[in-house]
A and B are shown apart, each in its own frame.
Chain A
């Protein structure tokens, strides 16, 4: 046997052949070569086997080769199966999990062949195995890398220094409309609009001269060109790739058509909003002037007539003119409230924060409204107001809230008084300044309380007698209060009166 392998002209005597085979076995350090008897008892254990499995020959000679298999494989009869098919088919070859002396596992490529004596008698088996764990791992990583590349939403193109495409992923096919075969080996310039093609080789040379990862043409509007000639906006990031074949350039290309469209829509929408906002401002400014100008003549000449400047009036003329005057004033306060509201809602209310003496402010409110209270025969008093309380706030907003609250109180009180109070309390690290307006008026029915702060709602007395006013006062207070860090609260007893309060909360400096 083996005449073709061991030609006596080359090897000479049988001893020399044995010597040669022994050398081969010894020097095969990367391959484990193991011989067994017909039932799998280990007879030969070379250097490679020792390195791979960790056993010395003395530790394994005479033991079953089962110890090289995992327990599970042994239970499932794999060693037997390998021997059986080696006998039947002359060879068993496959990838199996192997066990080292220390119990650790590795993946091995194994070939098992039967050994026969010169007479054909079964002598046992020869097992050759090698550790392919690293190769398996590398293959798996390569698979992952390939999947990532293929699944990437961006087109990935690898180009060599000559500008030839070396690799392109599925997204490149989708984005540019070329089949992969058409891409590989073609100059990368096929992906670029004509007008940029001439300069591109220079840019490429620049990259290869100073290879570092960077966005391409940052701040520039780059375009790609599809196979059908259609151009689209792109973003590119470039990275150098060191390979055995030399330096390559990796380009990740992103289609930014959608993003550009969104950006454009957004900026158009913003421009429209700004222009609408400017138009609204102009409208407000012009309305505040236009609406009040005719009232100047109406209220002015009504006033001069009532003052008797052009001559005496009879009673009926006076009564009718007072109706004109009252209606004109009502219209004026409606217009003022609406303009206030429009200003607050458009965010055009500019607050001027300054230190305000709270008691002074309350006295000013009382002085301004006292004629109205006296006309109705009720008292308007500042009571229980602490001296020297200061508040950082906007004077106009603060006064407007207090004037509205006090004005309401006077309006809904027919006898008794309206009291303005001022107190500061400390609560949970904050100081709360409370401006209270208490009246002895008709009070508010429980069922009316929800509507109290709604625009254009006017809650009447139980006898439903109509009151003057716009129905916007409390609504405006409610809108203004948060702007100065305040809130409006109220308590009411039907028939006995109400207390409305503005509470402004300020953190206490530590």
Chain B
């Protein structure tokens, strides 16, 4: 039950931060450092939630989201964009690409877990997380 979140992110500092925050709240996320790896890990492990960076070299977040949503074995998977892009139309494009949600970067460590848990199915959610307000 504790390995239900997959983080796909190419920046090493960011992946450490997200991994640290999730672990500090009791989750043990799967990590993938590029889009292709993200798709493979998702198909093998069938997580409940994918936190997906948009701008990545190679397969970008839009392509990964499309691949995940098209995968029959991953029906019901939630895909949330975590991105620092803030150009006009980005949000609309993200919604149109089939993402379930959107978390702005820079992420706010104090509210990050709340935002993540909003997208977790009831049974995958942990008790009130420590340290958050």
Cβ of A285: which chain B residues have Cβ within 8 Å of it?
Answer: 85, 87
A23-54 vs B, Cβ < 8 Å mask (1 yes, 0 no) = 00000000000000000000000000000000
B55 CB–A CB distance under 8 Å: yes
Q: With A and B bound together, what is the CA distance between A349 and B14 in angstroms?
A: 29
Residues 263-304 (chain A) with a chain B CB within 8 angstroms: 284-285, 288-289, 292-301, 303-304
| With A293-B11, A296-B14, A297-B17: A350-B88 Cβ-Cβ less than 8 Å | yes
B24 touches A304 (CB 8 A): yes
**Do A292 and B131 form a contact, CB below 8 Å, given A304-B17, A339-B86?**
no
Q: Which residues of A contact B11 (CB under 8 A)?
A: 293, 296-297
Cβ–Cβ contact B55 & A349, under 8 A: no
Question: Does the CB pair B55–A292 fall under 8 Å?
Answer: no
* A343 near B13: Cβ-Cβ < 8 Å: no
B131 touches A308 (CB 8 A): yes
Bound CA span A163–B105, Å? 78
The distance in angstroms between the C-alpha atoms of A298 and B107, with both chains bound, is 10
Residues of A323-359 contacting chain B, CB below 8 A: 332, 336, 339, 343, 348-350
Give chain A nearest CB distance to B21 CB in angstroms.
7
B126 contacts the other chain (CB 8 A): no
Task: State how many residues of chain A have any CB contact under 8 Å with chain B.
Answer: 26
Contact of A296 among B13, B20, B131 (CB under 8 A): B13
Would you give the shortest CB distance from B51 to chain A, in whole angstroms? 13
| Residues 231 to 256 of chain A near chain B (Cβ within 8 Å) | none
| Any A CB within 8 A of the CB of B108 | yes
A307 contacts partner chain B, Cβ-Cβ < 8 Å: yes
CB closest residue in chain A, given B18: A300
A289: contacting residue among B13, B20, B55, B88, CB under 8 A: B55
In the complex formed, the residue of B with least CB distance to A343 is B88
B89 at the interface (CB under 8 A from A): yes
A218 to B108 CA separation, bound complex (whole angstroms): 66
Q: How far is the CA of A300 from the CA of B12 in the complex (A)?
A: 13
Write out the residue numbers on chain B whose beta carbons fall within 8 Å of the beta carbon of A309.
20-21, 24, 109, 131
User: With a CB–CB cut-off of 8 A, which chain A residues contact B20?
Assistant: 301, 304, 309
For B17, B20, B89, B108, the residue with the greatest tally of chain A CB atoms inside 10 Å of its CB is: B17
Query: Chain B's nearest CB lies how many Å from the CB of A116?
Result: 108
Chain B residues within 8 Å of A297, by CB: 11, 13-14, 16-17
Q: Indicate whether A296 sits within 8 Å of B84 (C-beta atoms), given known contacts A307-B109, A309-B131.
A: yes
Q: Is B58 engaged at the interface, CB distance under 8 Å to the other chain?
A: no
Q: Which of B16, B86, B106, B109 makes the CB contact (< 8 A) with A288?
A: B86
**Please, which residues of chain A bring their CB within 8 A of the CB of B105?**
292-293, 296
Asked if A300 contacts B110 (CB within 8 A), the reply is no
Contact with A along B56-85 (1 / 0, CB 8 A): 000000000000000000000000000111
With a CB–CB cut-off of 8 A, which chain B residues contact A303?
A: 108-110
A348 to B110, CA, bound (A): 33
Shortest beta-carbon distance from B128 to chain A in Å: 15
Instruction: Evaluate contact between A300 and B89: CB separation under 8 angstroms.
Output: no
Among A301, A336, A348, max chain B CB count under 10 A is at A301
Tell me if B109 and A300 are in contact (CB < 8 A): yes
| List of A residues within 8 angstroms of B110 by Cβ | 303, 307
> Which residues in B have their C-beta under 8 angstroms from that of A336?
86
Chain A hits for B13, CB < 8 A: 294, 296-297
Could you list some 19 contacts between A and B, CB below 8 A? A288-B86, A289-B84, A293-B14, A293-B84, A296-B17, A296-B84, A296-B105, A299-B108, A300-B14, A300-B17, A300-B107, A301-B20, A304-B17, A307-B109, A307-B110, A309-B109, A349-B88, A350-B88, A350-B89
Closest 6 CB pairs of A and B: A303-B109, A297-B13, A292-B84, A296-B106, A300-B17, A309-B24
Given contacts A297-B17, A309-B109, 18 further A-B pairs with CB under 8 A are A285-B85, A288-B85, A289-B84, A294-B13, A296-B11, A296-B13, A296-B106, A296-B107, A297-B14, A297-B16, A300-B106, A301-B17, A301-B20, A303-B109, A307-B109, A309-B131, A349-B88, A350-B88
